[in-house]
A and B are shown apart, each in its own frame.
Chain A
Amino acid sequence: MFKRSAFILVLTVAPMVSAQDKAPSKAPGSEELGATTDVFTQTDGETIYGTACSGCHGPGGGGAFGAARYPALAGNAKLEVARYPVNLVVEGNGAMPAFGDWLDDEQVAAVVSYIRTAFGNDYTDEVSAEDVARMREDFADLDEG
């Protein structure tokens, strides 16, 4: 993803690695931070949540409140239909950034499955990588339409 960065310039024309390609394990930060410049490298849902999501939504999924909010995921009825969190993770909305370029289908499935069964949520129907791949296509079609 090309950053039109402004406060500073990160014209890092880093090699275009899609989330589907596994980043080389030597990539700086992959072991310590669970991420490279281009992708998140972890695979376990709870671990990905701890790296990518918990800063805003809270370690316990409680959300955060300032001038506006990061919604709580704990006891969040909107998680009932998996397509909703998958859409938000992949495409973003409002204050939620799009993580679709940084997480592959397996990772999206893992983190969505985690938040749908953690924090007191109990939506146990599995979300698979194949489901995520299919939804990504749907979202792209909708965007174009």
Chain B
Amino acid sequence: MADEPPLPTRRALLKMIGLTAGSGTMLNAMASLGHARQSPYTGPPDLSGAPDGQSVVVLGGGLAGMCAALELRRAGYDVTILEYQNRAGGRCWTLKGGDQIEELGGYRQDVEFSDGQYINIGPWRIPHHHLAVLDYCHRLDVPLEVFVQENHNAYLHSANHFDGKPIRYGHAWADYVGQITELLGKATNKGALDSNLTQEDTEILLESLKSFGILDKDYRYTASLDIAEYRGYPDGSAPGGGLYDAAPEPSEPIALKDLLQSRFWQYMRNHTTYRHHAPMFQPVGGMEQIAKAFEREVGDLIQYNAQVTRVMQSEDSVTVEYNAADGQGEGGQITADYCVCTIPFTILSQLDVDVSPELRQVMRALHYYEAVKAGLEFKRRFWERDEQIYGGITLTDLPIAEIAYPSNEMHSSGPGVLLGAYVYGPHAYAYNSMSPEERLESVLEYGAQIHPQYRDEFTTGVVLSWHRVPWMLGCYSNWDERGRDYEVAATMDNRFVCAGEHISYLPGWQEGSLLSALDAVRQIHERATTSQ
């Protein structure tokens, strides 16, 4: 009928819903309108109808604890957070000039980065499909910028191959793909695939190999201007202007044999895992901006310097005992109706916690990864100015494992902070056993093998071993098989429910912390609203 207004477009409809009902509703609406949503996150929980006067004590003021507190208070619960440290945020942690790191064993590191420089010593990047983190960044007003994960101009490096010289990632990638494509072309032309493909499909395959691998008319991957278009040009022979040195020259591929033996292929799917697909994000000013945003909301609920020692449960309450973590002030006791516990199992398994024997067993059985991370400040961003590397990651078989270039302040003429090492496995324990000074010296020594500018340009750095962090005793959870154990860990035990990255299928990711916190909150609310 002509009088009826035209149907709104789907976009206009979404915009209307978004404007009137908030982003969570928008996400729900998007799902029902048939957009694929790559996360179970459906917006902030609906906790309506909370009974009056119910209280929750939250153990741990990291992202999980603060998220749970934010939502529970919003729903009308009376919330207290106990935090061991004198700061909020837990592993969502950015080190800046003036900060101090206290490690077990008495080591102290003073962070002396220049103004505005920092290292995210815990989580450092956000996938575009981590919808809970992204939504809370929206709601809490945390500006994000792009985090560069994949950079074809960064390096692959092996101490024992190519004379220990770094190779541009893009060269190795294009040459490896080109040459395995060439081999597949040979096999196809010899009829090796005849039983798998029709004549027509074989012809299409050959056409695609030529196009995908940048093969010549004889299905060979050889030095040419065509491959230079993909892998890059030889040094000093890139396309120019005017008369002199203007015409580009073909570049020579790296021999397949050398690529195979260097094992560089093992790095070549790194950036293509689902969780590292571009674009990724980071908060402007450091990951801690997320922690600070939560702290702005729930900081008034946090009792700092509280070392939990004991959790007791009865039929109708939970009582938590704590000491002053610094040994100076008073300890105390808090009784609440429910408890959300985000204390990592490395620590919780050692406390006197009144839960089922099954949950106690799971706490002890869960292992945690080791990890060592280094932040190194240099006077000048030589990786950008000398080597045209803007963000991204160099991967090496040296013990530092990688060098990640900062995605913030690109192309500035000031200093920059690199991630100078990200170490797992036995090497991480070797670093864990060293003093911070020894670790730093080792990290610089290895890094200088890739970037000789290190020694001249280095100003200051920190190297943190997560096993020495007094409130973690490890880095993040390492489930062998989740199975029944996971179910036990994630299920409310009387009035006590665990949350944190370890109670998720996203270990080590902040998304896991938030999603588990929301599920913990859901369980408490369900219990509170049905047991009245």
Chain A positions within 8 Å of B, measured between CB atoms, are 1, 3-15, 26-29, 32-40, 50-56, 58, 64-70, 92-95, 97-98, 102
Q: Does B148 have its Cβ within 8 Å of any Cβ on chain A? A: no
Least CB distance, B477 to chain A, in whole angstroms: 10
Chain B positions within 8 Å of A, measured between CB atoms, are 84, 104-105, 122-124, 159-160, 263, 266-267, 269-270, 273, 275-276, 307-308, 325, 343, 345-347, 349-351, 363-365, 367-371, 373, 397-399, 401-402, 404, 422, 424-427, 429-434, 442, 446, 465, 467-476, 478, 506-509
Whether the Cβ atoms of B426 and A67 lie closer than 8 Å is: no
Whether the Cβ atoms of B432 and A56 lie closer than 8 Å is: yes
Give CA–CA (A7, B369) in the complex, Å.
11
Whether the Cβ atoms of A54 and B426 lie closer than 8 Å is: no
Whether the Cβ atoms of A14 and B266 lie closer than 8 Å is: yes
Whether the Cβ atoms of A102 and B425 lie closer than 8 Å is: yes
Given contacts A51-B429, A95-B349, are A5 and B398 in contact (CB under 8 A)? no
Given contacts A29-B398, A94-B350, are A7 and B473 in contact (CB under 8 A)? no
- Taking CB atoms, residues of chain A closer than 8 Å to B472 are 67
Give CA–CA (A42, B471) in the complex, Å.
31
Whether the Cβ atoms of A6 and B507 lie closer than 8 Å is: yes
Give CA–CA (A55, B103) in the complex, Å.
10
- Taking CB atoms, residues of chain A closer than 8 Å to B159 are 26, 28
Whether the Cβ atoms of B426 and A36 lie closer than 8 Å is: yes
Given contacts A3-B369, A68-B347, A95-B346, are A55 and B442 in contact (CB under 8 A)? no
Give chain A's interface secondary structure class: loop
- Taking CB atoms, residues of chain A closer than 8 Å to B506 are 6
- Taking CB atoms, residues of chain A closer than 8 Å to B371 are 7
Whether the Cβ atoms of B104 and A33 lie closer than 8 Å is: no
Give CA–CA (A92, B509) in the complex, Å.
23
- Taking CB atoms, residues of chain B closer than 8 Å to A6 are 123, 275, 476, 506-509
Whether the Cβ atoms of B467 and A67 lie closer than 8 Å is: no
Give CA–CA (A75, B365) in the complex, Å.
26
* A26, A50, A65, A66 — most chain B CB neighbours (10 Å): A66
Whether the Cβ atoms of B426 and A39 lie closer than 8 Å is: yes
Give CA–CA (A94, B348) in the complex, Å.
9
- Taking CB atoms, residues of chain B closer than 8 Å to A28 are 159-160, 397-399, 446
- Taking CB atoms, residues of chain A closer than 8 Å to B470 are 65-67
Whether the Cβ atoms of B424 and A5 lie closer than 8 Å is: yes
Give CA–CA (A138, B419) in the complex, Å.
42
Closest B residue to A97 by CB, please name it.
B367
Give CA–CA (A9, B496) in the complex, Å.
33
Least CB distance, A17 to chain B, in whole angstroms: 11
Whether the Cβ atoms of A70 and B307 lie closer than 8 Å is: no
Least CB distance, A123 to chain B, in whole angstroms: 23
Other 12 A-B pairs with CB < 8 A, given A6-B123, A54-B433: A7-B124, A7-B373, A9-B273, A10-B401, A11-B269, A12-B401, A35-B426, A58-B105, A66-B347, A94-B350, A95-B474, A97-B368
- Taking CB atoms, residues of chain A closer than 8 Å to B347 are 66-68, 95
Given contacts A10-B401, A29-B398, A56-B104, are A94 and B349 in contact (CB under 8 A)? yes
B399 touches which of A10, A29, A92 (Cβ 8 Å): A29
Whether the Cβ atoms of A7 and B508 lie closer than 8 Å is: yes
Least CB distance, B205 to chain A, in whole angstroms: 27
Whether the Cβ atoms of A68 and B473 lie closer than 8 Å is: yes
Closest A residue to B364 by CB, please name it.
A94
